[in-house]
Amino acid sequence: MTGQTCSSCGTELVAQARFCSHCGTALSSTPVPIVQRLRDALGVNYEVMGELGRGGFSIVYLVGDQLSRRYLAVKVMRPELMASHVAVERFRREIRYVAKLKHSNILPVIFAAERAELAYYAMPRVRGRALSEIFNDGRVATVEEAMRILTDVASGLAYAHRNGVIHRDIKPSNIMVDKSGRALLVDFGVAKGLASELGSLTSSGEIIGSPQYMSPEQIEAEGRIDRRTDIYSWGVVGYELLAGRPPFTGRTAHEIVYNQRTQTPPDLRSIVPDAPDSLVGAIKRSMEKEPPDRWQSMEEVLRQLQSGAQAVGR
């Protein structure tokens, strides 16, 4: 697997080499493009076809698997973060958590590696869109759509919780809907084990997550963050699906946080009068400010949804 050639002796070298292993010549300090490094890391059986998206922590590429004749989404940690032990450990943790989750409503990890000075993992390429793309500009879900999506998400979360993982960043952009209509949980980048005592703040005081969808205790890092923070975020997503807007908004993150902690959103029943009591009740109780007042498990949420499923023809 090569990425560059020595200009003095012609020896083929790996992309990250700084000196020729044969003659010792210092090589160009020009950084090797990340796409080339990913090609070197994956090998000849994979074709890097383009970028699917990027964030502050990682870049996702569309990759063709020539042997299995399928497309993959390969998530690569930004190379400049490789020097950070904390960033690398967070990425490795994400891989460990997602790799052990095998559920039809969770996007799985196919393989992971650290090569060519890159850390990355591969997932199936989903033919579909995120909820944030489907329901934008105030578009609301039908009751049937909301029931289907929220039941799928609740099923995936119930499974993750049973296996000791909480997501901590449930929001519309982290829920994909594939061509068949199935909802999939993606991006466990800030997930953690239920046994961990880490709070939701980094040592620098940075909030990890999305304030509009975070539970009050996650925002304020009050005590142990457990599965009930995902239940709260699930309720916020459900409210937005039906109402066409998040229950808590603001001009700044601090205003959103304040409203999350102190305000009560308009009753969903006044916005969606035809929604069944089981669905409205599931969402309302999920968004209680205090964790003991919420549903205590996603299994409870699922039972509540299923109790009214016949009312919407599911």
Looking at this protein, which amino acid is placed at residue 18? R
Q: What is the DSSP letter of 312?
A: G
Q: Which candidate, 188, 168, 215, places its Cα nearest to that of 105?
A: 188
DSSP-assigned beta bridge partners for residue 130: 176
Distances (CA, A) of 284 to 76, 187, 269, 278, 287: 38, 26, 10, 10, 5
What are phi and psi for residue 35, nearest 5 degrees? -65, -40
Catalytic residue at 274? Answer: no
Q: Which structure tokens are listed for 156?
A: 């995936």
Active-site residue identified among 40, 152, 169, 187: 169
Contact 231, 295 (CB under 8 A): yes
Mind telling me the catalytic residues?
A: 169
